Amino acid sequence: MPKVLISDDLSPRAAAIFEERGVEVDVRVGLKPDELKACIHEYDGLAIRSATKVTADVVAAAENLKVIGRAGIGVDNVDVPAATARGIVVMNTPFGNSITTAEHAIAMMMALAREIPAADRSTQAGKWEKSRFMGVEVTGKTLGIVGCGNIGSIVAERARGLRMRVVAFDPFLSPERAADLGVEKVELDELFQRADFITLHTPLNEHTRGIVDAKSIAKMKPGVRIVNCARGGLIVEKDLRAALDSGHVAGAAIDVFEVEPAKENVLFGSDRLIATPHLGAATSEAQENVALQVAEQMVDYLLVGAVSNAINMPSLTAEDAPRLRPYMRLAEQLGSFAGQLTETGLEAVVIEYEGHVAELNTRPLTAVLLQGLLSPLLDTVNMVNAPMLARERDITVSEVKIDGPCDYQTLIRLTVKTERRERIVAGTLFGGTRARVVQVQDIHFEAELGRHMLFVRNRDKPGFIGKLGSILGSAGVNIANFHLGRSANGGSAIALVEIDGAAPEAALEAVRAIPDVIQAKALNFY
C-alpha cells in the first residue's frame, strides 16, 4: 500500500481522501528540516503547502518518493530540478485558488485607489482627516495585467465589470482569447506607458525576475499604482521603494516579497505601501479546494499512474492511463530494444506515430520510450527525468505524427542516430494489447519480446540456423520462440530468439564466431 506524508496544514478532508482510496497517510506538521530528511525515505508521496522546504538534501534522502504534491500554485519551496533528476513527479494545483487570488488583487487595487488602510489607521487613532485621503476612481482607468493566464484572466473579467479599460501583456495570450476577455493585447513597454494601475500575474522565472525595476518604472505614468499578488521576485524592491518615495509611483499593494516571511523589508514604512502577508490564496474555500485537489491528484498517480498538473512531466489523465498502458509498454520495449543495441554516443531520436496512436496523447509515450532507451545506458531513469537527461546530453528528440493509411492499425517507429550509425525499430499492438516488433532496420517480421532474448544480425547464408541452434543446445539454452527476417536472398538477416534463461557469455562468443555473423547480443525485457 502506498504511503503519503502530509507535512503542512491541509484540510482534514485531504487525509480522509487518501485513506478512503487505499493510501496510508501520516500527518506530521511542523517537521524540522533534519526531521523531514530522517523520515522521508518511508514515503511514496509528500503533500505540502508553502511551509515545508523540499531541498536537494531532502530529495537525496527520499529513496522511495514518487510524487510531491503542492496544495497551491507556486513551487518555489521545492527543488524541482533535483526532484526531476531523481524521477519524482512534482504537482501543483493551479486552479483551486485562482478566484481567491484574483479577488485579493482586486481588493488590493481598490484599497490603493481609496487609501483605505491609511484612512482606517488615522480614523481609529482619533483623527478625522477627511480631506487628507483623496482617492481616485477606477471607473474609466486603464488596468495593465502582466500575465493573463488562469488568475490574470479572472482579474480582467472583474476589472471589466468595474468599467475599466484593460490592456494585457502575455506572450501566450491568443488574439481570440483576448477578444473573448474584452482586453487589448499589447507589448510590455506599451502596457507600462498606458496603465493607471498595473497588476502582476506571471510566474517567476529567468524572463520575469525583476520585470518591475527602475528602468521599467521610468516608463510608467507618474501616479501609477502597482499591485503584486503573484511572486515576490517580480519586483526589484529597492527600486520600487525609491519610486514610492519620489511619488512617481502613487502607491503599491504588495502581498508577496522576495524573502518570506518578510519580517523586515526595504518597502516597509512607506506611507504609500499596503502590505499583506501572502494572503492571495488565504480563504477557507481556496484552502479546502487545493487540499482536496492535491490529494486526488496524488492518489490517482500512486494508484493508476495518472498525472495531473505536473510541473516536470506530461499530463496523463485517469481516463487516459488505462487506455495508454499497452502503448506505453510497447514504447518502452522499443526504446529498450534500441538502447540495449546502442554502443556509441546517442545524437538524435526521431519517434514516428502512425495510425490510431497518432490520435492519442503521445507525450507520455515519448517520455516512457526515452526511459527505455536510456535505461541501459544510465542508472535511475524513469519517464519523469528521461526527457531532462536527454536534453542534458544534447540528444535531439523529435516527434512526428503521420496521418493517412498505415500498414498496421497502429505503429510506433523509432529511429536512433548515434555517432556511427542509424538504427530503426518499429512495433505495433495485436488485438489492441499485445506488443510486437515488426521492423528492425529495413527488415520486416513479427516478434513478441520475452524476458530473455538473443539478437543476431548476420549475412543470409545457408547453415546459419543450424549452427545457432546447435550452440544454444550445447549450452543448455532452450529456445522458446524463433523469429527470422531478411532484406533479400543473400542479403542482411536478423534472428530474434526468445530463450528460457540468460545466455552464457561463452555461448554468445560462440555465436559471434559463426561465419557471417555481424552482431550477437543478449537482450533483457522486464
Give catalytic residue positions.
231, 260, 278
Q: Distance between CA 330 and CA 313 in Å, rounded? A: 19
Q: Are strands 45-48 and 89-91 parallel, antiparallel or unpaired?
A: unpaired
DSSP letters, 106-170, are: HHHHHHHHHTHHHHHHHHHTT---TTT------TTPEEEEE--SHHHHHHHHHHHHTT-EEEEE-
Q: Are 483 and 513 in contact (CB under 8 A)?
A: no
Please, what's the b/e burial string for 406-424 (b: 16 or more CB within 10 A of its CB; e: otherwise)? bebebbbbbbbebeeeebb
Q: Which helix (H) or strand (E) holds 369?
A: helix 363-374
Q: Distance between CA 439 and CA 432 in Å, rounded? A: 18
C-alpha to C-alpha distances, 524 to 207, 343, 367, 438, nearest whole angstrom: 45, 16, 20, 18
Cβ partners under 8 Å of residue 226, min gap 6: 197, 198, 199, 200, 212, 235, 240, 249, 251, 252, 253
Q: Distance between CA 508 and CA 520 in Å, rounded? A: 7
Q: Distance between CA 502 and CA 43 in Å, rounded? A: 35
Cβ partners under 8 Å of residue 88, min gap 6: 59, 62, 65, 66, 67, 68, 384
Please, what's the b/e burial string for 221-245 (b: 16 or more CB within 10 A of its CB; e: otherwise)? beebbbbbbbbbbbbbbebbbebbe
Q: Which amino acid is residue 48, in one-letter code?
A: I
- Report the 3 state secondary structure along 292-359: HHHHHHHHHHHHHCCECCECCCCCECCCHHHHHHHHHHHHHHHHHHHHHHCCCCEEEEEEEEEEHHHH
Cβ partners under 8 Å of residue 472, min gap 6: 454, 478, 479, 497, 499, 503, 507, 511
Q: Distance between CA 77 and CA 68 in Å, rounded? A: 11
